[in-house]
Chain A
Amino acid sequence: MNQEFVDYILDKAHKEGFTNCQLYYIEDRDINIHTHNGLVMSKGGAVSFEAVKDDKLCNAYIEGFDKKDADYLIKVCLENAEFMPPKNEIYFYGGNEDIDFESYDPFCEVIETVIEKSQEFTELLKNYGGEFAGSSLNLKSQARTIRIVNDKGLDKTATTSRIHGLANLVYAENGRSNNCHFYVDGSHLEQINFQVPLDENINFLSSYVKGAKPKSGTYRSLFRGETYSYLLMVTALFFSKDYVDSGKTRFTNKFGKKVASDCVTIVDNPRLEGGFFSVPFDAQGVPTKERILIENGVLKNLCCDLEYNEGYLEAGSMTRSRINLSSFISVTNLYMEEGDFSREELLKKLDTGLFITEVSDYFHRHGSDPVTGDFSMPARGFFVENGQVKGGIVDFSIEGNLYDILEKVEAVGNNKGYSMPSCLYPGMPMRIGGHASPDILISDIRIQGGQE
């Protein structure tokens, strides 16, 4: 989006009677390698125009940057101003701080480097015994440039990079097959490592193939970090100030109160070094900052935008994943703070119970209710006896409540596992933030398996 386009649309909008105007520009440059299907390269830019007329806020977008496109944006906003209710306050940010945080890897735009990275997966997979026909990796490397400019003086530009890989491992043994997914991400290509997740997941898969169905009942359990981070993804919605204010969450009126066990600290950090969703300013142009949402079990902070901030709740959590979707309050890099215990120590603490290593909630919230917090979803894992991991368990589901789980955490591991970013509802963008968690020991979880 060049300056000529910016000047033209702002000038014309003011002449049409718009009093405040803001442009938000996203340009994505993607390289996507799918080892099964091939290569995708793309470059696309789009702009949204927000403008105020008679205290009414209007919004339109287009994927084009000539005068005709600018005229279209103004025309649509004029039409929509006809029926929009006036707002008491309009929330455009005027601060123009220096961009003091970078999260960009130029190698993510070099096609040969990205192909080379994807080949690491294929080569490593050859080192494992067994049959992995049908396995694949989808590696996506994205550079995103955002510019936000308004007539209150704001003009900020930032380029960030995001790389993520989703592997589908299919393992066959003696005519029986099974599969699992693993996910890796980061802001720099060098962070992408396949060896560790391959070791762990292939080990798990070979046990799932021979796995047994556990009896229904309530078990003390250790959740693998990756597995709990899927549940944390649904929990993320509980921290949006607008959602809390709507009364749809148990966190309503719980500010400053105990909502989790002492060992739980949950953080949203948009400035996490190497974080997949790291970004210097939010979709309103407000500088981002780390937020400790739950500290030692106490609800301490929420994610806010310029409209919902009050007291010491600060703005800076507005997200716009795509130009054709409205902005919304969201976490960025959400994680549970690491604890002191290794996995071995946690298994010893568990002594006897279950080690839950996978839940199936690949694409959206199904199996979990973000309002009540109730969830039930298929899972896989292992029996644990005398602190030792034993045989694999399959064909069962776990069920409980996401709020209750926070109160049932007995100990937290010193590792961190990431879950694939997903969406809460079909039709929403597939990414609403990155999520990570250490292994966590839970006092009890109900499972539905074979007859008790």
Chain B
Amino acid sequence: MIKEDIIFEVLKVATSTGGDYGELFVENSASNTLNMAEGRIASVLSGVTKGASIRVFCGLQSYYGFTTDLSYKGLVDLAKKIANNLKEKNSLFVPDLKTMKTNPTSKSIIMPRMISNVAKVEALKEAYSGAKAVSQLCKGINGLYYDMEQNVQIATTEGYVYNDTRPYTRLQVSLAAVNGSEIQMGFEDFMEAEGFDCIIRRDPRSIGEKAAKTAVGALGSIECPSGELPVIFSPSGGGTFLHEACGHPLEASYAARENTLFYNSIGKKMMCSKISITDNGIYPNGWGATAVDDEGVLCQKTVLVENGIVKNYMIDRLNSRRLNRMPTGNGRKQSYRQVPTSRMHQLYIEPGKDTLNDMLSGISKGLYVEDLGGGCANGNTGTFTVSTARAFLIEDGEIKNQVRTATLIGKTLEAMNDLDMVGDDEVTSFGGGYCGSESGNLPVGNGTPHIRIKKLTVSGRG
């Protein structure tokens, strides 16, 4: 990483023509991507990403640049290029820098760089074997092992320098179950903010088995009904719903703009009083949790909604100026190449008092969603879409047959006011995924207890 005296010089040059805040972000990340097709390693790509970005604020305007040249000259040249855009008389005072200690959220012992790719190949083989053993109907079994160790250094003109190490490991299996002309997809993965520890702790074989069972189970299943139906999300299914329906609109990049859903809504009751939502940036080993965000703000646990009342947003530095509120440690980006903006860490609904039986009783026809495949949202209007990966019909208060995939479509405020029951289950498992948005694809976690929405538009083909 870069020495403090060089960082000091670079920040001084970057803010020499004005501005009221400057920041240097340096990254050195090593990653491995192993692809397996039909039990054979098809490709391995290993590499190192290294670069730096500099950002200067002048009021609400941001000037940002990045380079892969980490030499003193390379950094100073970039700083000069950015400074050329500001034409103020006075330079910004840069205080002496102090490197701060952080408490890494990842408790990993076996970091990705410490383990040979040979062991990762074995994990993929196990996952493949798990899928293959389920049924001969499974075709095109592909496995992916991805790990990354991201080392970042963030220095700001506030005088602080932070270092953080973030390991990520992901194992995934995708396949198709083919029976005559019918094809059904199966997909399963796990993602952990750890190194190889999680592979040892979890069973790669079960990932393959689960993917195969999903696809085979969907063969011959009935079409999902269409129309407005009550929907119950399981703890593993509700997270993506929460992420799309509520998470994005509560990011300051949306909420700080006029004419968006939660603009100027702090202190207002916007959803059912059973709902309390928290974003936790410091959950140990949490997928999406980090000690410090990518703007040099320490991460924290932020209560966003309490009993239906909006309490805060997820706020990055630039939008904190627009909102006149403190940043919450949610300024995140994929790598040195992206400009950070407000993003989620680990978003969840706090447990309530309802049981699953309470939720099921009284539903004559509805949908029980065990798992979602993903979704997208329009943060302005709150329109969101999520796709079911594994769902079951509810008939007369009982969970019945598996149905084929369907899309659930809704509007945030309607859905969060129709969310009438919150389960008493402890939120212990956070679904992991990647969220694609302005500052790149980022690991994010999300979770809920069982939750019931009185009505959602279900777009199936039944």
Residues of A within 8 A of B (CB): 34, 36-46, 48, 57-64, 72, 76, 79-80, 82-85, 133-134, 138, 168, 170, 172, 177-179, 216, 246-248, 323-326, 360-364, 366-367, 369, 371-372, 374-378, 395, 397, 399, 423, 426-428, 430, 448
Query: Which of chain A's residues has its CB closest to B81's CB?
Result: A41
What are the residues of chain B within 8 A of A59 when measuring CB–CB?
Answer: 43-46
Q: Which of B95-103, B152-160, B429-437 contacts A (4 or more CB under 8 A)?
A: B429-437
Q: Mark B60-102, 1 if CB is under 8 A from A, else 0.
A: 0111111110100000000001100100000000000000000
CB–CB A44/B67 < 8 A: yes
Using A37-B62, A41-B65 as known contacts, say yes or no to A360 and B383 having CB atoms under 8 A apart. yes
CB–CB B461/A374 < 8 A: yes
CB–CB B374/A38 < 8 A: no
Most chain A CB inside 10 Å of its own CB: which residue of B33, B41, B116, B441: B441
The 8 closest A-B pairs by CB, nearest first: A38-B62, A61-B47, A376-B459, A177-B259, A426-B434, A376-B407, A179-B380, A427-B434
- What is the CA–CA distance of A44 and B139 in the complex, to the nearest angstrom? 40
Query: Which of chain A's residues has its CB closest to B435's CB?
Result: A426
CB–CB A42/B67 < 8 A: yes
What are the residues of chain A within 8 A of B383 when measuring CB–CB?
Answer: 360, 378
- What is the CA–CA distance of A168 and B44 in the complex, to the nearest angstrom? 39
Contact among A38, A63, A216 for B48, CB-based, below 8 A: A63
CB–CB B258/A133 < 8 A: yes
Query: Which of chain B's residues has its CB closest to A166's CB?
Result: B438
CB–CB B65/A248 < 8 A: no
B409 within 8 A of A: yes
Q: Mark B167-179, 1 if CB is under 8 A from A, else 0.
A: 0000000001010
Contact among A46, A361, A372 for B376, CB-based, below 8 A: A361
What are the residues of chain A within 8 A of B68 when measuring CB–CB?
Answer: 43-46, 63-64
Contact among A36, A79, A134, A362 for B260, CB-based, below 8 A: A134
CB–CB A38/B63 < 8 A: yes
Q: How far is the CB of B386 from chain A (nearest CB, A)?
A: 7
CB–CB A360/B43 < 8 A: no
What are the residues of chain A within 8 A of B226 when measuring CB–CB?
Answer: 216, 399, 448
CB–CB A42/B65 < 8 A: yes
CB–CB B380/A170 < 8 A: yes
What are the residues of chain A within 8 A of B375 when measuring CB–CB?
Answer: 366
Query: Which of chain A's residues has its CB closest to B441's CB?
Result: A427
Query: Which of chain A's residues has its CB closest to B178's CB?
Result: A247
Q: How large, as a class, is the contact surface on chain B?
A: 35 or more
What are the residues of chain A within 8 A of B434 when measuring CB–CB?
Answer: 426-427
CB–CB B441/A448 < 8 A: no
Using A41-B64, A448-B226 as known contacts, say yes or no to A367 and B385 having CB atoms under 8 A apart. yes
Within 8 A of A (CB), among B437-462: 437-438, 441, 457, 459-461
Contact among A46, A61, A178, A367 for B45, CB-based, below 8 A: A61
Using A170-B380, A248-B140, A324-B31 as known contacts, say yes or no to A44 and B176 having CB atoms under 8 A apart. no
- What is the CA–CA distance of A403 and B318 in the complex, to the nearest angstrom? 45
What are the residues of chain B within 8 A of A38 when measuring CB–CB?
Answer: 61-64
Query: Which of chain B's residues has its CB closest to A364's CB?
Result: B436
CB–CB A40/B257 < 8 A: no
CB–CB B407/A367 < 8 A: yes
Q: How far is the CB of B384 from chain A (nearest CB, A)?
A: 8
Q: How far is the CB of A260 from chain B (nearest CB, A)?
A: 18
Query: Which of chain A's residues has its CB closest to B71's CB?
Result: A66
What are the residues of chain B within 8 A of A178 when measuring CB–CB?
Answer: 380-381
- What is the CA–CA distance of A315 and B381 in the complex, to the nearest angstrom? 44
Can you list 13 residue pairs at the A/B interface with Cβ under 8 Å? A39-B85, A40-B64, A63-B50, A76-B46, A80-B117, A248-B139, A360-B385, A364-B436, A366-B373, A376-B406, A378-B385, A426-B436, A427-B436
CB–CB B258/A134 < 8 A: yes
Q: How far is the CB of B24 from chain A (nearest CB, A)?
A: 14
- What is the CA–CA distance of A172 and B260 in the complex, to the nearest angstrom? 10
B51 within 8 A of A: yes
CB–CB A374/B259 < 8 A: no
Using A59-B45, A61-B45 as known contacts, say yes or no to A247 and B376 having CB atoms under 8 A apart. no
Q: Mark B18-55, 1 if CB is under 8 A from A, else 0.
A: 00000000000001010100001101111111110000
Query: Which of chain A's residues has its CB closest to B120's CB?
Result: A83
Within 8 A of A (CB), among B177-229: 178, 183-185, 226-227
- What is the CA–CA distance of A375 and B41 in the complex, to the nearest angstrom? 32
CB–CB A179/B259 < 8 A: yes
What are the residues of chain A within 8 A of B62 when measuring CB–CB?
Answer: 37-39
What are the residues of chain B within 8 A of A40 when measuring CB–CB?
Answer: 64-66, 339
Q: How far is the CB of A5 from chain B (nearest CB, A)?
A: 14
Most chain A CB inside 10 Å of its own CB: which residue of B258, B385, B459: B459
What are the residues of chain A within 8 A of B50 when measuring CB–CB?
Answer: 62-64
Most chain B CB inside 10 Å of its own CB: which residue of A170, A367, A372: A367
B405 within 8 A of A: yes
CB–CB B227/A448 < 8 A: yes
CB–CB B51/A63 < 8 A: yes
B387 within 8 A of A: yes
What are the residues of chain A within 8 A of B436 when measuring CB–CB?
Answer: 363-364, 423, 426-427, 430
What are the residues of chain A within 8 A of B116 when measuring CB–CB?
Answer: 79
Q: How far is the CB of B161 from chain A (nearest CB, A)?
A: 22
CB–CB B67/A83 < 8 A: no
CB–CB B387/A367 < 8 A: yes
B273 within 8 A of A: no
- What is the CA–CA distance of A247 and B273 in the complex, to the nearest angstrom? 49
Q: How far is the CB of B412 from chain A (nearest CB, A)?
A: 13
Query: Which of chain A's residues has its CB closest to B35's CB?
Result: A326
- What is the CA–CA distance of A361 and B386 in the complex, to the nearest angstrom? 11
What are the residues of chain A within 8 A of B380 when measuring CB–CB?
Answer: 134, 168, 170, 177-179
Q: How far is the CB of A168 from chain B (nearest CB, A)?
A: 7
CB–CB B43/A326 < 8 A: yes
CB–CB A58/B44 < 8 A: yes
- What is the CA–CA distance of A375 and B117 in the complex, to the nearest angstrom? 38
What are the residues of chain A within 8 A of B109 when measuring CB–CB?
Answer: none
Contact among B31, B44, B81, B258 for A84, CB-based, below 8 A: B44
Apart from A80-B117, A360-B383, 4 more pairs, CB < 8 Å? A46-B68, A62-B47, A323-B47, A326-B43
- What is the CA–CA distance of A292 and B47 in the complex, to the nearest angstrom? 37
Contact among B49, B341, B374, B378 for A324, CB-based, below 8 A: B49
B114 within 8 A of A: no
Most chain B CB inside 10 Å of its own CB: which residue of A60, A84, A138, A427: A427
Most chain B CB inside 10 Å of its own CB: which residue of A59, A62, A80, A428: A80
B127 within 8 A of A: no
Q: How far is the CB of B82 from chain A (nearest CB, A)?
A: 7
- What is the CA–CA distance of A360 and B385 in the complex, to the nearest angstrom? 8
Q: How far is the CB of A391 from chain B (nearest CB, A)?
A: 19
Query: Which of chain A's residues has its CB closest to B378's CB?
Result: A360
CB–CB A366/B385 < 8 A: yes
Using A63-B51, A376-B407 as known contacts, say yes or no to A84 and B41 having CB atoms under 8 A apart. yes
CB–CB B227/A216 < 8 A: yes
- What is the CA–CA distance of A171 and B31 in the complex, to the nearest angstrom? 43
- What is the CA–CA distance of A68 and B31 in the complex, to the nearest angstrom? 18
CB–CB A72/B48 < 8 A: yes
Query: Which of chain A's residues has its CB closest to B254's CB?
Result: A134
Query: Which of chain B's residues has its CB closest to A37's CB?
Result: B62
What are the residues of chain B within 8 A of A57 when measuring CB–CB?
Answer: 43
What are the residues of chain A within 8 A of B166 when measuring CB–CB?
Answer: none
